[in-house]
Structure 1
Amino acid sequence: MGFASFTDEYSSPVGPSRLFKASIIDSHNLIPKLLPQGIKSIELVQGNGGAGSIKQVNFIDGRNFNSVKYHIDELSEDKFTYNYTLLEGDALVDKLIKITYEVKFESASNGGTVSKVTSKYYTDGDFMLKEEDIKAGKEKVLMMYKVVEAYLLQNPDAYA
């Protein structure tokens, strides 16, 4: 089995509690409203939304992907941590067994947030992912965070 790991950091002027609530806890409601041009819905397939739950993201028709399912491995509202595993869907190309993500929101000195995201790719055999595919996925996630951030900055009472 092949393995690759990447860690990225993003900064936001929005505090970690609000950013975590909006982008993680209430993502199933907020993200489809903010990104209707890409995401049709986010459904809870199993569980109550906490650790052990399974969610499915359904993309609008005509996209590269139809849907993805992921398992919530850990969710801590106190520590602002969120770990999940992509289980199935169009994003798991041939020879890609799974992708795990570890997300942590930390307080920044300016009152905002430093988001640390570690993604781990597990591949079948000695298959290697293309760097441009990984970069494209990261850019989509960053764009989603920026859309949530913009919403929170425009709506200072939301998720307070």
Structure 2
Amino acid sequence: MGVFTFTEEYTSSIPPARLFKALILDSQNLIPKLMPQAIKSIDILQGDGGPGTIKRINFVEGSQLGGLKNRVDELNEETFTYKYTIIDLEEKFESIAYEVKFEPTPDGGSKNKMTSTYYTKGDVELAEEDIKAGKERALGMYKVAEAYLIQNPDAYA
């Protein structure tokens, strides 16, 4: 098994509490609404949203993947930290673990950091296109939510 870790950071004009509420706490409602061309629904299969919860992301028909299952590993509303693992993956990966942290910036916005750890099966090498595609999906979702929050200043306030 191989282990590959990558970290991405970006800044936003949106405070961490609003981003955390929108992208993490209410993702199952907001993300399908904002990205209907990609995500059909997000269903909670077990749990109450906290650690141990299993969510299924259902992609629209015609997508490369039918869906993914995420397990919530940690959810801290005080430190705006969220850890989750994508489980039940295809033949290349055992799992992919993510750690997301939103921190306040002096200007009232936030610095957002995501660390991704890919656990591959056997001697599978992680392809550059897999890494790039994962980063683009995550950043795309952040940007869509950020734009929504800018246009709707009372949402998740």
Tell me which interval the TM-score lies in, with the shorter structure as reference length.
over 0.9
- 5 Å-filtered alignment, 1:59-138, equals 59-88=59-88, 92-138=89-135
What stretches of structure 1 move > 2 A for 4+ residues in a row?
A: none
Secondary structure of 1:101 counterpart: strand
Residue deviations 1:20-48 (CA, integer Å, cap 9, x gap): 00000000000000001110000000000
2:42 is equivalent to residue 42 of structure 1 = yes
Segments of 5+ residues of structure 2 without an aligned counterpart are none
Relative to the length of structure 2, the TM-score reads 0.98
Shift of residue 95 of structure 1?
2.8
* Aligned mates of 1:123, 1:154 — CA distance in 2: 40
* Aligned mates of 1:133, 1:4 — CA distance in 2: 12
Considering only aligned residues, what root-mean-square deviation do their CA atoms show, in Å? 0.8
* Further displaced range: 120-129 or 22-31: 120-129
* Aligned mates of 2:7, 2:141 — CA distance in 1: 17
Relative to the length of structure 1, the TM-score reads 0.96
Identical-pair percentage: 59
Match of 1:22 in 2: 22
Shift of residue 79 of structure 1?
0.6
Secondary structure of 1:32 counterpart: helix
Partner amino acid for 1:94? E
* Aligned mates of 2:64, 2:92 — CA distance in 1: 18
Secondary structure of 1:158 counterpart: coil
Secondary structure of 1:18 counterpart: helix
Size of the alignment, in residue pairs?
A: 157
Secondary structure of 1:78 counterpart: coil
* Aligned mates of 1:34, 1:61 — CA distance in 2: 17
Partner amino acid for 2:104? S
* Aligned mates of 2:135, 2:125 — CA distance in 1: 17
Counterpart among 140, 143, 146 of residue 140 in structure 2: 143
Shift of residue 10 of structure 1?
1.1
